Structure 1
Amino acid sequence: MKNAILIRGARVHNLKNVTVEIPRNHLVVITGVSGSGKSSLAFDTLYAEGQRRYVESLSAYARQFLERLDKPDVDEIKGISPAIAIEQKNTVRTSRSTVGTATEIQDYLRLLFARVGHTVCPNCHTEVKKYTTEDIFQFLIARHPDAKALLSFPPVIDEHNSWSMVLRNLKQAGFHRGVVNGQIVELEKIDKLDPQNPACSILVDRLRVTPTQRPRWMESLDLTFQFGQGNIIITIIGMAKQRSSINKIDTQASSAATSGDECVVYTFSRQLMCPKCGITFLEPHPRLFSFNNPFGACPRCRGFGDVIEIDLDLVIPDKSKSLRQGAIEPWNTPSNCYYYEWLEEVAATYNMPMDVPFYALSQEHQNLVINGDGSFPGVRGFFEHLEEKIYKVGVRVFLSRFRGYVSCPECHGTRLRPEALYVQVGGLNIGQINRMTVKEAFDFFNNLSITSYEEAVVHQVLTEIRFRLRYLLDVGLGYLTLDRRSATLSGGEAQRINLATALGAKLAGSLYILDEPTVGLHPRDTHRLLHVLQMLRDIGNTVIVVEHDREMIENADYILDLGPAAGVHGGEIVFQGNFQQLLRSCHSITGSYFRGEKEIPIPSQRRKGNGHFLHLRGVREHNLKNINVKIPLGLFCAITGVSGSGKSTLVHDVLYAAIKRKKNQWKRRVGEHDILIGDEYIDDAILVDQSPIGRTPRSNPATYLKAFDGIRKVFAETRVAKMRGYKPGTFSFNVKGGRCEMCEGAGVVQVEMQFLADVALICEACNGKRFKKSVLEVKYKGKNIDEVLNMTIAEALTFFKDVPSVVRPLRLLDEVGLGYMKLGQPATTLSGGEAQRVKLAAHLAERRGKHILYIFDEPTTGLHLDDISKLLQSFERLLRAGNSILVIEHNLDLLKCADYIIDLGPEGGEEGGWVVATGTPEEVAQNPNSHTGRFLREYLHHGIDSKVSVFPAKNYG
Structure 2
Amino acid sequence: MGGSQHIEVRGARENNLRDVSLDIPKGAITVFTGVSGSGKSSLVFGTIAAESQRLLNETHTAFVQNFLPSIPQPDADALRNLSAAIVVGQERMGGNSRSTVGTVTDLQTMLRLVFARLGEPRVAHASQLSFTSPEGMCPRCEGQGRVDDIDLDELLDWDLSLNAGAIKLADYQPGKWFHQIFTESGFFDNDKPLREFTPAELQTFLRGETAKVRTATMTLTYEGLVDKFRRTHLAKDYASLQPHVQRVVDRVVTSQPCPDCGGSRFSAAVLDCRVAGRNIAECTAMQVTDLLAFLDALDAPSIAPLLTALRARLGDLVFIGLGYLSLDRSSPSLSGGEAQRVKMVRHLGSALTDLTYVFDEPSVGLHPHDLGPLTTMLRRLRDKGNTVLVVEHKPLLMSIADHVVDMGPGAGAAGGRVVYEGTFAGLREADTRTGRRLAQRPALRERVRERTGSIAVRGAALHNLRGIDVDVPTGVLTAVTGIAGSGKSSLVLGALAAACPGALVVDQSIARGSRRSMTATYTGVMDDVRKAFAKANGVPASLFSANSAGACPTCNGLGSIYTDVGFMDQIVTVCESCEGSRYLDEVLTHRLRGLNIAEVLALSAAQAAEHFTEKPVRCTLSAMVDVGLGYLGLGQTLNTLSGGERQRLKLALELGTPGGVYLLDEPTTGLHLGDVEVLVGLLDRLVDGGSTVVVVEHHLDLVSQADWVVDLGPGAGHEGGTVVFEGTPRALAAAATTTGECLREHLAA
TM-score (normalised: structure 2) = 0.84
Asked if the contact 2:68/2:569 (under 8 Å) is kept, the reply is no
Asked if the contact 1:832/1:861 (under 8 Å) is kept, the reply is yes
Corresponding letter in the other structure for 2:457: L
Corresponding letter in the other structure for 1:446: D
* Offset at residue 837 of structure 1 (A): 0.9
State whether structure 2 residue 289 is matched by structure 1 residue 483.
no
- Residue of structure 2 equivalent to 1:28: 30
Secondary structure of 2:504 counterpart: strand
* Offset at residue 93 of structure 1 (A): 5.2
- Residue of structure 1 equivalent to 2:174: none
Indicate which of 731, 741, 746 corresponds to 1:934: 741
Asked if the contact 2:66/2:568 (under 8 Å) is kept, the reply is no
Instruction: Give me the whole-angstrom Cα distance separating, in 2, the residues matched to 1:445 and 1:758.
Output: 45
- Residue of structure 1 equivalent to 2:498: 657
* Offset at residue 744 of structure 1 (A): 3.8
Secondary structure of 2:278 counterpart: coil
Indicate which of 485, 505, 508 corresponds to 2:353: 508
Corresponding letter in the other structure for 2:681: Q
Instruction: Give me the whole-angstrom Cα distance separating, in 2, the residues matched to 1:399 and 1:504.
Output: 40
**How big is each residue's C-alpha offset from its partner over 1:152-200, in whole Å with a ceiling of 9 and x where there is no partner?**
xxxxxxxxxxxxxxxxxxxxxxxxxxxxxxxxxxxxxxxxxxxxxxxxx
Indicate which of 669, 685, 693 corresponds to 1:877: 685
Asked if the contact 2:404/2:424 (under 8 Å) is kept, the reply is yes
- CA gap of 1:539–1:769, structure 2 versus 1, over 3 A, is same
**How big is each residue's C-alpha offset from its partner over 1:537-576, in whole Å with a ceiling of 9 and x where there is no partner?**
1111111010001110011111111111111111111111
- Residue of structure 1 equivalent to 2:505: 687
Alignment map for 1:432-581 (pairs within 5 Å) = 432-450=282-300, 452=301, 454-455=302-303, 459-581=304-426
State whether structure 2 residue 702 is matched by structure 1 residue 894.
yes
* Offset at residue 426 of structure 1 (A): 3.3
Corresponding letter in the other structure for 2:364: V
* Offset at residue 55 of structure 1 (A): 1.4
Instruction: Give me the whole-angstrom Cα distance separating, in 1, the residues matched to 2:563 and 2:386.
Output: 30
Determine what percentage of the aligned residue pairs are the same residue: 42
Alignment map for 1:248-397 (pairs within 5 Å) = 283-308=123-148
Instruction: Give me the whole-angstrom Cα distance separating, in 2, the residues matched to 1:460 and 1:641.
Output: 36
Secondary structure of 1:9 counterpart: strand
* Offset at residue 9 of structure 1 (A): 0.5
**How big is each residue's C-alpha offset from its partner over 1:701-753, in whole Å with a ceiling of 9 and x where there is no partner?**
2222222222111222343xx4xxx42222222x2322234544333345679
* Offset at residue 66 of structure 1 (A): 4.7
* Offset at residue 765 of structure 1 (A): 4.1
Secondary structure of 1:894 counterpart: helix
- Residue of structure 2 equivalent to 1:909: 717
Instruction: Give me the whole-angstrom Cα distance separating, in 1, the residues matched to 2:200 and 2:85.
Output: 55
Secondary structure of 2:586 counterpart: helix
Instruction: Give me the whole-angstrom Cα distance separating, in 2, the residues matched to 1:636 and 1:573.
Output: 36
Indicate which of 408, 419, 438 corresponds to 1:594: 438
State whether structure 2 residue 613 is matched by structure 1 residue 772.
no
- Residue of structure 2 equivalent to 1:634: 475
* Offset at residue 898 of structure 1 (A): 0.6
State whether structure 2 residue 726 is matched by structure 1 residue 922.
no
Asked if the contact 1:561/1:575 (under 8 Å) is kept, the reply is yes
- CA gap of 1:386–1:309, structure 2 versus 1, over 3 A, is farther
Instruction: Give me the whole-angstrom Cα distance separating, in 2, the residues matched to 1:87 and 1:542.
Output: 16
Corresponding letter in the other structure for 1:566: A
Corresponding letter in the other structure for 1:292: T
Indicate which of 713, 733, 751 corresponds to 2:531: 713
Asked if the contact 2:93/2:334 (under 8 Å) is kept, the reply is no
**How big is each residue's C-alpha offset from its partner over 1:615-662, in whole Å with a ceiling of 9 and x where there is no partner?**
1222222221221111111111111101111111122232213433xx
Instruction: Give me the whole-angstrom Cα distance separating, in 2, the residues matched to 1:388 and 1:400.
Output: 27
**How big is each residue's C-alpha offset from its partner over 1:29-87, in whole Å with a ceiling of 9 and x where there is no partner?**
10111111111111111111111111111123323455653211100001111111111
Instruction: Give me the whole-angstrom Cα distance separating, in 1, the residues matched to 2:421 and 2:318.
Output: 32
- CA gap of 1:868–1:86, structure 2 versus 1, over 3 A, is same
Indicate which of 642, 654, 675 corresponds to 1:843: 654
Instruction: Give me the whole-angstrom Cα distance separating, in 2, the residues matched to 1:475 and 1:575.
Output: 30
* Offset at residue 758 of structure 1 (A): 6.8
Corresponding letter in the other structure for 2:128: L
Runs of 5+ unmatched residues, structure 1 = 120-128, 130-282, 316-328, 335-384, 661-683, 943-957
- CA gap of 1:766–1:67, structure 2 versus 1, over 3 A, is farther
Corresponding letter in the other structure for 2:514: T
Corresponding letter in the other structure for 1:624: L
- Residue of structure 1 equivalent to 2:181: none
Corresponding letter in the other structure for 1:498: K
Asked if the contact 1:34/1:863 (under 8 Å) is kept, the reply is yes
Asked if the contact 1:467/1:504 (under 8 Å) is kept, the reply is no
- Residue of structure 1 equivalent to 2:6: 4
- CA gap of 1:718–1:93, structure 2 versus 1, over 3 A, is farther
Asked if the contact 1:117/1:284 (under 8 Å) is kept, the reply is no
* Offset at residue 577 of structure 1 (A): 0.9
Instruction: Give me the whole-angstrom Cα distance separating, in 2, the residues matched to 1:862 and 1:752.
Output: 34
- CA gap of 1:626–1:792, structure 2 versus 1, over 3 A, is same
Indicate which of 635, 647, 655 corresponds to 2:488: 647
Which segment is superposed worse, 520-529 or 436-445?
A: 436-445
**How big is each residue's C-alpha offset from its partner over 1:348-407, in whole Å with a ceiling of 9 and x where there is no partner?**
xxxxxxxxxxxxxxxxxxxxxxxxxxxxxxxxxxxxx999978789x9999997963222
Asked if the contact 2:443/2:747 (under 8 Å) is kept, the reply is no
- Residue of structure 1 equivalent to 2:448: 606
Instruction: Give me the whole-angstrom Cα distance separating, in 2, the residues matched to 1:758 and 1:576.
Output: 39
Alignment map for 1:23-102 (pairs within 5 Å) = 23-66=25-68, 68-92=70-94, 94-102=96-104
State whether structure 2 residue 595 is matched by structure 1 residue 783.
yes
Secondary structure of 2:678 counterpart: helix
Asked if the contact 2:478/2:693 (under 8 Å) is kept, the reply is yes
State whether structure 2 residue 278 is matched by structure 1 residue 428.
yes
Secondary structure of 2:726 counterpart: strand
Corresponding letter in the other structure for 1:916: V
**How big is each residue's C-alpha offset from its partner over 1:266-297, in whole Å with a ceiling of 9 and x where there is no partner?**
xxxxxxxxxxxxxxxxx432332221222211
State whether structure 2 residue 543 is matched by structure 1 residue 730.
yes
Instruction: Give me the whole-angstrom Cα distance separating, in 2, the residues matched to 1:703 and 1:758.
Output: 25
Instruction: Give me the whole-angstrom Cα distance separating, in 2, the residues matched to 1:646 and 1:522.
Output: 13
Which segment is superposed worse, 88-97 or 902-911?
A: 88-97
Asked if the contact 1:86/1:515 (under 8 Å) is kept, the reply is yes
Secondary structure of 1:927 counterpart: coil
TM-score (normalised: structure 1) = 0.66
- CA gap of 1:488–1:69, structure 2 versus 1, over 3 A, is closer
Secondary structure of 1:118 counterpart: coil
Instruction: Give me the whole-angstrom Cα distance separating, in 1, the residues matched to 2:485 and 2:329.
Output: 13
Corresponding letter in the other structure for 1:414: S
- CA gap of 1:90–1:388, structure 2 versus 1, over 3 A, is farther
* Offset at residue 420 of structure 1 (A): 0.6
Corresponding letter in the other structure for 1:799: H
* Offset at residue 914 of structure 1 (A): 1.0
Instruction: Give me the whole-angstrom Cα distance separating, in 2, the residues matched to 1:29 and 1:782.
Output: 41
Secondary structure of 1:95 counterpart: coil
Asked if the contact 2:519/2:636 (under 8 Å) is kept, the reply is yes
Asked if the contact 1:67/1:753 (under 8 Å) is kept, the reply is no
Asked if the contact 2:476/2:693 (under 8 Å) is kept, the reply is yes
* Offset at residue 790 of structure 1 (A): 0.9
Instruction: Give me the whole-angstrom Cα distance separating, in 2, the residues matched to 1:492 and 1:857.
Output: 13
